[in-house]
Structure 1
Amino acid sequence: MDTEKKPLRADARRNYERLVEEAKRAFAAHGVEASLEEIARRAGVGIGTLYRHFPTREALVETVLREGYDAQAAVARELLGSSEPVDALKAWFAGMGEQATRYRGLPELMVDVLDDETSPLYASCHAMRDQVSHLVERAKASGELRADVTVHELLVLLHALSWASEHLSGDKSLERLLDLVFTGLRAS
């Protein structure tokens, strides 16, 4: 979805930035299903302005998440230099898990769009996925990670763990769940 866009006028740019900031606040308070009408109202614009900038909810969510996803892709590149490939992969998943649990409802949304090439989130997810795939392949090549594990399976597991840590009480922290999963993912 890399279509070239002309630069926004100053007032349109301010509206865009206010919409993104209000979306961050609304998603933090109410999850990714927060009212788009309320986001527009709090940004001081009409719903039509929101939809001109973000034609779908997923487009708005993608914009809000992009900075974090870009950071996680950079972390994956940095972790490639680690001497412990599986620990590096686990560290990346812990950071990504924090991203995935930042907004209520995000894990469900992410699983829904993992294979939906029409979703605005798809491109962002796959750019990050490309970076983490190098970590996965490195961990497999070291013999520490099961050879039959795919990046897609790991991302589905991550979103399932994120969902579980969001919905379950007790000792179900994401870190604890990741420990359990990575114990099972290690090659024998």
Structure 2
Amino acid sequence: MRADAKKNYDHLLAVARDVVTEDGVDASMRDIARRADVGLATLLRHFPTREALFEALMCSNLDALTQKADELETSKSPDEALVSWFREGVTFVQSYRGVVDLIASAHADPDSALYTSCAAVHTVGARLLLRAQAEGTARADVNGDDLFALMSALGWLADQSAFTPRADHLFHVIASAIFISPSSNDAKKARGRLDR
């Protein structure tokens, strides 16, 4: 891609990210083009379909989430890495209204443009979970599918205005359920782990 084409592509993606953050996955392609100060034809030249636009938006975020898992795996203890990554994942799914439906369906559809990135996120989440389980800090009856589903569920709850004020509390409840109940001596340490 030429430098000017790459600059235009990045600009359109940045504007699309802002519009989708504000309006959710039902954001108008015309509105994105208007706010990017380009014609609809220019937007469609870069992103010929709505799915192509969301693929570009979601894949960059999902790929960053995968990379974050790799960083945390080498820099944090297993339980801290899992909680930090899980929080990053929940933050991502809460960032775009309606994204939960996209990633939940893409996760099970090998023909989806988002499938590869969703599968990579699922794999690294499962790997972080297995590390914490091997250390004895995470429940053995939780698997990667459960982790992905819980992340999606917390993202969905944030889309519901009645639950928005309790989003952080609900994160703590769900994250606490992933870990083995600490003894009374370890309660403060566990609480600190979740607050990071």
TM-score bucket (shorter structure) = 0.7 to 0.9
Aligned runs of 1:40-59 on 2, under 5 Å?
40-59=33-52
* CA displacement 1:67-110 (0-9 Å, x = unmatched): 43333222211222356423321111111111111122122222
Q: Identity across aligned pairs (percent)?
A: 37
| TM-score w.r.t. length of structure 2 | 0.78
| TM-score w.r.t. length of structure 1 | 0.81
Where structure 1 has 5 or more consecutive residues not aligned to the other structure, the ranges are 1-6
Aligned runs of 1:59-74 on 2, under 5 Å?
59-74=52-67
2:26 to 33, 47, 53: 33
Q: Distance in 2 between matches of 1:76 and 1:49?
A: 36
Letter in 2 for 1:91: S
Say whether the 8 Å CA contact 1:15–1:43 is kept in structure 2: no
**Relative to structure 1, is the Cα distance of residues 82 and 187 closer, same or farther in structure 2, using a 3 angstrom cutoff?**
farther
Say whether the 8 Å CA contact 2:79–2:132 is kept in structure 1: yes
Q: Which residue in 1 is equivalent to 2:17?
A: 24
Kindly state the Cα deviation for residue 138 of structure 1 after the two structures are TM-superposed: 0.5
- Over the aligned positions, Cα root-mean-square deviation in angstroms equals 2.4
Q: Distance in 2 between matches of 1:179 and 1:49?
A: 44
Kindly indicate whether residue 138 of structure 2 is the aligned counterpart of residue 145 of structure 1: yes
**Relative to structure 1, is the Cα distance of residues 84 and 121 closer, same or farther in structure 2, using a 3 angstrom cutoff?**
same
Where structure 2 has 5 or more consecutive residues not aligned to the other structure, the ranges are 182-196
**Relative to structure 1, is the Cα distance of residues 117 and 48 closer, same or farther in structure 2, using a 3 angstrom cutoff?**
farther
Q: Which residue in 2 is equivalent to 1:106?
A: 99
* CA displacement 1:134-174 (0-9 Å, x = unmatched): 2111012122222232212211111111111231346421x
